Amino acid sequence: MRKALIVDDIKENLYLLESLLKAYDFKTINANNGAEALGLALREHPDIIIADILMPVMDGYTFCRECKKEATLKDIPFVFYTATYTHPKDEEFAMSLGADKFIIKPQEPEDFIAMIEQVLSEFRTDKLIIPKHSESSEISLLKEYNETLIRKMEDRMLKSEDAEKKVRIYASQLELEIEQRNQIARALKESEILFRSVVENAAEGFSIADENGRIIIWNDAMARLTGISQREMIGKFAWDLQFLLIPEKQRTEVKRSAFRKLITNFLATGESTFAGKLMERSYKRPDGTEVYIEGRIIPIKTDKGFILVSTVDEITERKIFEEALKDSEHRFRVLAESAPVGIFKTDARGATIYVNPRWCEISQLSFEEAMGDGWLNAIHPDDKDKLSMGWQQTTFAHTSSKAEYRFVHVDGSIAWVIGQAVPQQDKNGRIAGYIGTITDITERKKMEADLITSKEKAEESDRLKSAFLANMSHEVRTPLNSIIGFSELLTDDDFDKIQKNDFIQSIIVNGNNLLSIISDIMDISKLESHEIKIRNCQINVHKFLSDFIKQFECSVQEKKLELRLNFSDTVENGDTVIFADVDRLKQIFNNLVGNALKFTANGQIEIGYQKKGTGIKFYVRDTGIGIPAEYHNKIFDRFRQVDNSTTRKYGGNGLGLAITKNLVELMGGTIWLESEPGKGSTFYFLMPCGESPK
């Protein structure tokens, strides 16, 4: 088994390294500093040495130098593994001392082990290791050693100061939290006093039984409602309330022990058939007065179990009123049930002679307005001729009829009905008239329309999503293929350094493109879930735009376009400020100017702003391909593009303008465009000047 000597003054680091190396069949030898490690190395003669730099007694640099002086140790691979790397010269100095590898923390376990195996492999195959730097004189080596350690110690001191500041901040926050808890305790005490005052003065009967079932609160209203005083009830057990919970006719059937068991279980579990339910009972007070009461028993969990909170109110007058109302409602229900729909009656010629109240309710016509042919005046114009002609044919042919039509109410609302009528014969078999009904189907019609709309929206959404997924697949694969392809070429030794640098640049560019696509997807997701927060600050518009356009200078020059910044005479140059989120404002301009560059082959791009009421109107104008009028509203929808095919001339994922619109509206603004195919586009957005953040 291979042996690895690991050196670090931090126990946690040693433990992690030891666990990792053991998982890959290494035997580990641990040391806390260079001096201890040197002795262990001479004694154990490990296969590889892995050391930190800053350590007490003897640091890593000195330890490495001493190892390379020893004849028995100089051929053992030496690896620095440190998190204190702050300058490229640290690695150069380490390699000049004879180190074989300089690894910066942290590393993925697989990557770290691969590096260690590579170092060991080079030694096993007696690969010639050419030092990067020639040996320095003892004096210059000592000077460089001192400079490196001083720089690292200064960095550690800065980190220590930062940690001390964090401790002070934490202590301050802790003091604040303690004060807040004290305030909560005081508020809780005040709340308890207030609670008792409210309970004692409540009009509703209120009582509380503790975890043992004893009554601890019995307010004045409870005493008044039950006729039992506080002195009689405080300290008694909840099962003594049997007279309240159980109807009088059933009380003799419930034994006291059984009821006590029921309450005891209630206190232990908070569960019962009556827990939390509103109960109505007739109750005879001790003085013989019979009343109706309504109450609840609610279990509230505590550290010791449950307490029982009971509320009781007298509903005697309400019950008397309800009984009277029931009689009245019964008589009314008999009549109402005989006419559940609108009913009408006509003479033999089809003229209306009667309508019931439900018919008037549906049509919103009075009885008088409905008589004769007056009902036709409320029919929708599109249905009137067809319905009138159909009714005439029905009366002429003495047949039944059925039709769907619309009433137009005075307020302009529509009521859809299905009407049907059957002829009525007299004793001689002649048609005496017609009787019919109308049923309101407005909600059904609305549901049908909603279903059609939902179906169309779902189909449109599916089309957009399919187009978006196809487009996104293309947009993601394009940079990803470039990244993978150029990454594979980097491993080919047939290419020189200049060519590989070009490959790296291509990887960086395509990586940034891929990152931009992922950022857009994350932004639209955050906007949908309302997770984006706006952080307003004061922005000097002139300076912001002047600085902003600099990032597009190279892109504009490559396409041989002109990029202009226009400041209106209506604003004071350099003094116009707004309060907005500077990062989100920059994102808005990035999307708009990026689109202008993408779709403009010749001419110019102009960015400007002007005062508009209490806000600032910004615009981005280009001389590009333009947008057809039918897409002006749709272009701001998610996944929407003028051309959704993956083979179109221009790229994009269809999210940029949707994100832009959402961000503008989040900051209280509005966005619109003016565009015509072949004549370019102008995107405007109006931003309120806002108020200074507090």
pLDDT more than 90, % of the chain: 15
What are residue 562's DSSP bridge partners?
Answer: 604
Q: What is the rounded average pLDDT of the residues 324-353?
A: 72
In this prediction, residue 121 has a pLDDT band, given cuts at 50, 70 and 90, of: confident
The letter for the amino acid at 320 is I
- Pair 364, 378: CB distance under 8 Å: yes
Is the pLDDT confidence value at 391 over 70?
Answer: yes
Q: According to the model, what pLDDT value does residue 662 have?
A: 87
- Helix axes 109-124 and 11-23, enclosed angle (nearest 10): 70
pLDDT at 397 over 70: yes
Determine which of 239-243, 439-443, 489-493 has the lowest per-residue pLDDT on average: 239-243
pLDDT tens digits, 70-84: 989 998 999 998 875
Least confident of 56-60, 332-336, 423-427, 596-600: 332-336
For residues 576 and 637, give the distance between their C-alpha atoms in angstroms, rounded to a whole number.
32
Q: Write down the pTM of the prediction.
A: 0.35
Q: Is 688 helix (H, G, I), strand (E, B) or coil?
A: strand
Q: Using the predicted structure, report yes or no on whether residue 87 has a pLDDT greater than 80.
A: no
Give every strand in the sheet of 670-675, ordered side by side. Answer: 562-567, 604-612, 615-622, 681-688, 670-675
Q: How confident is the model at residue 128 (pLDDT cuts 50, 70, 90)?
A: very low
Domains of the chain plus CATH, in order, are: 2-135 (3.40.50.2300), 202-317 (3.30.450.20), 340-440 (3.30.450.20), 447-526 (1.10.287.130), 532-688 (3.30.565.10)
Averaged over 343-352, what is the pLDDT? 89
pLDDT at 50: 93
pLDDT in tens, 452-487: 888 887 777 777 666 666 666 666 767 777 788 778
Q: What integer is the mean pLDDT of 658-686?
A: 90
Task: State the Cα–Cα distance between residues 434 and 400, nearest whole angstrom.
Answer: 9
Q: What is the average pLDDT across 276-294? A: 75
As a whole-number percent, the residues of the chain with pLDDT over 70 amount to 77
pLDDT, residue 606, reads: 93
pLDDT surpassing 50 at residue 208: yes
Query: Above 80 in pLDDT, residue 388?
Result: yes
pLDDT at 306 > cutoff 80:
no
Burial of 53 (0-12, 13-18, 19+ CB in 10 A): buried
Report the pLDDT averaged over residues 267-281.
Answer: 67
What is the structure's pLDDT at 252?
46
Mean pLDDT in the chain?
A: 79
| Region for 374 from its dihedrals, namely left if φ exceeds 0, alpha if ψ lies in -120 to 50, beta otherwise | alpha
Residue 276: pLDDT band with limits 50, 70, 90: low
- The answer to whether residue 407 scores a pLDDT higher than 90 is yes
Among 36-50, 145-159, 265-279, 308-322, the minimum mean pLDDT is found in 145-159
The pLDDT of residue 28 is 93
- Average the pLDDT over 636-662 and give the result: 64
What pLDDT score was predicted for residue 162? 64
Whole-number Å distance between alpha carbons of 274 and 270: 10
Residue 670 has pLDDT above 80, yes or no: yes
Residue 643: which pLDDT band, with cuts at 50, 70 and 90?
A: low
pLDDT over threshold 70, residue 127: no
Q: Report the amino acid identity of residue 33.
A: N
* pLDDT digits 0-9 by tens, 578-622: 888 888 898 899 889 988 988 998 999 999 998 888 888 999 999
Q: φ and ψ at 667, to 5 degrees?
A: -95, 15
Categorize the per-residue pLDDT at 3 as very low, low, confident or very high, splitting at 50, 70 and 90. Answer: very high
How far apart CA 468 and CA 653 sit, in angstroms, is 7
> Looking at the predicted structure, is the pLDDT value of residue 85 above 70?
no
Task: Identify the residue with better confidence: 568 or 47.
Answer: 47
pLDDT at 130: 41
How confident is the model at residue 333, as a pLDDT?
44
Higher pLDDT, 252 or 25: 25
pLDDT at 645: 45
> What SS3 class is residue 476?
helix
Whether 230 shows a pLDDT value over 70: the answer reads yes
- Residue 188 near residue 195, CB atoms below 8 Å: no
Q: Which run of H or of E encompasses 251?
A: helix 248-251
Question: In a 10 Å sphere around its CB, with 0-12 CB exposed, 13-18 middle and 19+ buried, how is residue 121 labelled?
Answer: exposed
The pLDDT, as a whole number, for residue 618 is: 93
